[in-house]
Chain A
Amino acid sequence: MTALRGLLRKEIFHILRDRRTLTVLLALPVVQVILFGFAIRTDVNDVRLAIVDPAPDDATIALRNRFASAGVFRTVAVVPRAADLDPLFQTGAAQQAIVFEPGLAADLGRGEPGHMLIITDATEPNTGSLLQAYAQAVVQGYQQELIAAGRPSAGPAPRSAAGPPLAELLEGPPSAGPALRGGPAPRAVAIVPAVRLRFNPTRASSNLFVPGLMAFVLTIISSLMTAISLTREKETGTMEALLVSPLRPWEIIVGKVAPYLVIGFISVVAVLIEARLIFHVPLNGSLPLLLFEGGLYILVSLSLGILVSARTSSQRVAMMGVLLATMLPNVLLSGFIFPVESMPAPLRIVSYIVPGRWFVLIARGIMLKGIGLDYLWRETLILAAMAAALLIVSTRSFKERLD
């Protein structure tokens, strides 16, 4: 125990004395929240909407009113034919269009699915899918109103359900520049359970990025700092002294990682508080559960850090290793910035082994949906299995010898 206490005290000295790194570690989460919150906002406001309504009726007027009152959309043009949309999209006058077909009210009145088309400029795919979701939410709101009014089968239905392939609905897709083939994504309205919108009713992107940011910060602190501080001892030669001592590998590892575990928790709490105070991000679920899941994720990251440091002997190489093995996947493939659903299939498969992906799912679930282990047990189990496996592998790879 004296040995472990000594190790911990020494490690705390290292951390406290490396002022520059400590400042970065503590300031990073705080700065990141502000950065993501203000600078890299993905919310959309003032969407330039065009409407094609060849034969206005009750239903189309009602929907148009809903769009107008949603607060996000600004109707820039109402044109009679879908073909008139081309110039609007090409000049950028419109970002999104609603194409009604004649007889929507009549269809709905007969209890048949009504048809409409939402066209979105997807030049910028993330914004595009966001706009799409907004529009769908408006339609869905109308639908629910109808249902509430006692017309169960009613509602504008997706054209795909009625048979003809989606593409046929378009006379020719308004091109949005050569960079994006297929350009503006046409899509028939469906009763899509837009999860992100339903559980993120304020539509604030800060709600979405905070869980991802936690994953990112924890990765930096746990993986990177562990790997660097372990390889630093190899560089100074002190690792030899530790190995030659009666210390067991687990003691060396615990002494190394425990302080970073604490810093990791501090950062998580700091991010949560800041997100709450500045961006009013909710924490709908249980805080202890979130911290527990955070702990699991920290274990996974620490193990990865140990694993990387076991195979490298210089801080520089360790840094590169961590960057490639943990930071990049956790940022790019976790759904933190880019939605997993919009990734190509191979990357989506790869994302299954990225621990950040599961943690982001869990954290979003707890924070935004307020759900507990009864819903998140599967993700938790995956994370726990990863932690256990990596912990075993990393302590094994941490050798008591130099060869």
Chain B
Amino acid sequence: MIESAIDVKDLTRTFGSFTAVDHISFEVHSGEVFGFLGANGAGKTTAMRMLIGLLTPSGGTARVAGHDVYTESEAVKRSIGYMSQRFSLYEDLTPRENIRLYGGIYGLTMPQIRERTGRMLTRLGLARVADEQVRSLPLGWRQKLAFSVALVHEPRIVFLDEPTSGVDPITRRQFWELIYEAASGGTTVLVTTHYMDEAEYCDRICIMVAGRIGAIGAPADLKKQFGVDSIDELFVRLARPETAVPESALPERLS
């Protein structure tokens, strides 16, 4: 853990009178798998968008891969990869065309693109469908391909926005293996997820509650610290201190 891949201090973003992200500070180390958790509207998407240069912060500082998000957003964009939950792939292009497109966007040379395309397709076992339109591929394959495409220019940091929603458990695990593989190669991974059990795959997690950081640390440490059995439980505890429906308030027969 030589240097920080991401260094955020007092980062804030307001929309009118609403403060979506409220003075958050955290650090992500190089090669770390960092989980970003929170309820819908807790501010995790806003925070991520500021880090990848899609939104200008209202205040605070943030350095991504050593670059300032205010003044060096071009450099930031060049050193990161991004995969959104809606797939960053063009569904009417083939896997090969998608890889070539993104390789071109990030300024790879043709021989580089050719070499990486071949390696990637073999690695993912997609060689057979390399020339079929992406839309005809199963969801799980598309997600793995999208992840690899986000890595095509070998970025220092890759941002994944709910990458595994809806896939079957096996594909999900294969996806996490890809993440581990990337991380073991030195790539920093920042991932948001809805699956609380998935938080435990991360080296460290950060749970956002109403624009602030409710908890941050390694999953095991957090469980110990809060005295809970699972991150799910911790999440419930942080997000809604009192459990909502007193069951006694419900009637005996409803039908």
Is A in direct contact with B (CB under 8 Å) within the complex?
A: no
Residues of B within 8 A of A (CB): none
